[in-house]
Structure 1
Amino acid sequence: MRSNTVGAEPVNAIYQWLPSAIDARIRVVAWLSLVTEILIVGTGGAVRLTGSGLGCPTWPTCVAGSLVPTQEMGVHGVIEFGNRLMTGLIGIIAIAAVVLLWRLRKGRKDLFVLAVILGSGVLAQALVGGVTVLTGLNPFIVGFHFTASLIMVCIATVLVHRVYLAPGLRALVVPVGFAGLAHATSFVVALTVLMGVLTTASGPHSGDVAAGRTGFNAELLEHLHAWPGYATLVLTLVLVGASVRGKLPVRSFVVTLLVVELVQIVVGLLQANLGLPPLLVGLHMVLACVLAAAMTAVVLNLKAPVGQPAGLPEFAGNGTARN
């Protein structure tokens, strides 16, 4: 009995160390999750844009008999393996989130479920990445891989949002018409991004000289990608005007969305007129993730917990918001 008690002490100490309320550790891990989910799109873009898609030609090893790239694989192997390491980092952060939220898994089930989803998403993305390599960079699978990354960014954004809010019923803090327009804008944003994914899958940056393309007309797809992009800008301008005029609590998020869209449009026009330079294409991909996160933040902030102001409230030590 004594040995069992002694053995349990470290476990109890670890359990007591885990947060019993939302604290800085949980918030930091949530932000790290979001940032790394965006960064991996940048490293994945570097793999494609440098022609390193098959820098590690096998999976889960890099080359036959070696988990890491060999000297023969050169810089392409290093770039591809670096992207795989980024997946590992995101996995560690996801595990950390699950562990830190363990004591709160009942009281803040929403946060715990989001952390589990992000952790499961890492495994799913790793498998999709493996299929991508084993199919020789099939453009449709590559596009699905990128789309899944965008979804993960949105989920991580929800986690960041929720760690600043008390649990409970939520109610609209904006007029119904404004909320409807915001949701419509989010649909057009999603359409813009999806058309961008298809356009990229049909363009020149395949990730490897031997990789195939979709066979679709890339020039036509550029226009089909741009049109909903401009529609998004118009809708966002309306949202900005309405939120500023009405002094809505969501206005700072809407203005941020507008800024991201303007930067994205400028980068998109530059890359189209400069012959799709890899650096600008990669920046455009990363900005697509930032755009998805910004749009998600706007939608999330249309509501706030009942009795709690909208925005990012300060939390008391017991995990409930100070009113």
Structure 2
Amino acid sequence: MNRIVRPVSGTLLRRLALASIIANVGVVVTGGAVRLTASGLGCPTWPRCTDDSYVTSSELGVHGVIEFGNRMLGFAVGLIALATVLAVLTHRPRRPGLLALSVAVFLGVPAQGVIGGITVLTHLNPWVVGLHFLASMAVIAAAYALWRRIGDPDGPTVAVVPAPLRALARITTGVAIAVLVIGTWVTGSGPHAGDHGAARNGLDPESISQVHADGVFLLIGLSVALIFAFRAVGARRATRAAIVLVAVELGQGVIGFVQYFTHVPAFLVGTHMLGSCLVLLATLSVLWSTRERHPVAPAPETAPADDAAPVPVTA
């Protein structure tokens, strides 16, 4: 007996994609909590939590609970990503590119698990910890692209701003990515190593923080320029996206300066990590707003061919 699989609606599909974004941002925040509570080696090995068990034990205390809880959240994120892939497969009509994006998000989850395992096995090497964070950013970017693509109609992509402004938006995105990368160097030089015995990357915290701040100033300047440029060409949606980006950047900048001058308290560092995710999402929103898809117009009805016309019958 064949079972009929009901197609998944576009609304449900987009909700799943949004849930994937939120879940991956949650992994970044909880991963930060692992490091900020010195629980990075709460489970001292991988893929097991201990040499004898896949789960934490009372001997590992609260650090084991925190680290193991973050690992379990990774499984929940994987389930959401898998559900999204299955929903894309059953969605009708088939949408170009959705399957590739959903699979990329799904495969990013085990990839993150492997990088997290290497982080533990290398005793929280700061460069690997930074890679772990950046891999999460890549998965969030893929999940965002999937969410936006689901909401777009099928049809050709049309630019809504001139080519120089699209180039400026791409440059701004590149600078935002550079700021995120340098931010991991700042973290790797700072006091929150994830474990009291973990090594630091050897960079001077004050010097690399200045480099990071310079990148932030450049990013804010480019973003403000986008606001005026988009307004000049009447691109309202792009202007709104750029305004949101500047607001997020300013908030993130304030948190960064406060945490630096208050000797990097753990709570503000965690908030700064959440802000990094929001900066990435706001930057992608600007980049996405420079183009839009137009639905394909239905084919015009054609008149019946001459040979299809009724033939008069004579007596």
Normalised to the residue count of structure 2, the TM-score between the two structures is 0.90
- CA-based RMSD of the aligned residues comes to 1.5
Q: For 2:295 and 2:105, how far apart are their aligned partners in 1? A: 29
Question: Is 1:155 the equivalent of 2:142?
Answer: yes
Question: Is 1:95 the equivalent of 2:94?
Answer: no
Give the equivalent residue in structure 2 for 1:250: 238
Q: For 2:246 and 2:269, how far apart are their aligned partners in 1? A: 20
Amino acid at match of 2:225: V
Give the equivalent residue in structure 2 for 1:191: 178
Contact 1:243–1:251 (8 Å) recurs in 2: yes
Give the equivalent residue in structure 2 for 1:44: 31
Amino acid at match of 1:102: L
Q: For 1:291 and 1:164, how far apart are their aligned partners in 2? A: 21
Percent identical pairs in the alignment equals 37
Give the equivalent residue in structure 1 for 2:303: none
Q: For 1:233 and 1:152, how far apart are their aligned partners in 2? A: 24
Q: For 2:195 and 2:140, how far apart are their aligned partners in 1? A: 26
The alignment of Structure 1 onto Structure 2 pairs a total of residues equal to: 295
Give the equivalent residue in structure 1 for 2:116: 129
Give the equivalent residue in structure 2 for 1:144: 131
- Structure 2 unmatched ranges of 5 or more: 297-315
Normalised to the residue count of structure 1, the TM-score between the two structures is 0.88
Amino acid at match of 2:119: T
Question: Is 1:115 the equivalent of 2:102?
Answer: yes
Contact 1:104–1:112 (8 Å) recurs in 2: no
Q: For 2:12 and 2:288, how far apart are their aligned partners in 1? A: 22
Indicate the structure (1 or 2) with the bigger Cα radius of gyration: 2
- Structure 1 unmatched ranges of 5 or more: 309-323
Give the equivalent residue in structure 1 for 2:200: 213
What is the SS of the residue equivalent to 2:24? helix
Task: Give CA deviations for 1:63-85 in whole Å, capped at 9, x if unaligned.
Answer: 22222210111111111111111
Q: 1:290 is matched with which residue: 278, 282, 285? A: 278
What is the SS of the residue equivalent to 1:181? helix
Change (3 A) 1:161 1:138: same
Amino acid at match of 1:237: V
Matched ranges for 1:1-323 at <5 A:
5=1, 8=2, 12-13=3-4, 15=5, 17-19=6-8, 22-104=9-91, 107-248=94-235, 249-306=237-294
What is the SS of the residue equivalent to 2:158? strand
What is the SS of the residue equivalent to 2:223? helix
Give the equivalent residue in structure 2 for 1:318: none
Q: For 2:190 and 2:215, how far apart are their aligned partners in 1? A: 19
Contact 1:87–1:122 (8 Å) recurs in 2: yes
Change (3 A) 1:216 1:105: farther
Amino acid at match of 1:18: P
Q: For 1:155 and 1:264, how far apart are their aligned partners in 2? A: 22
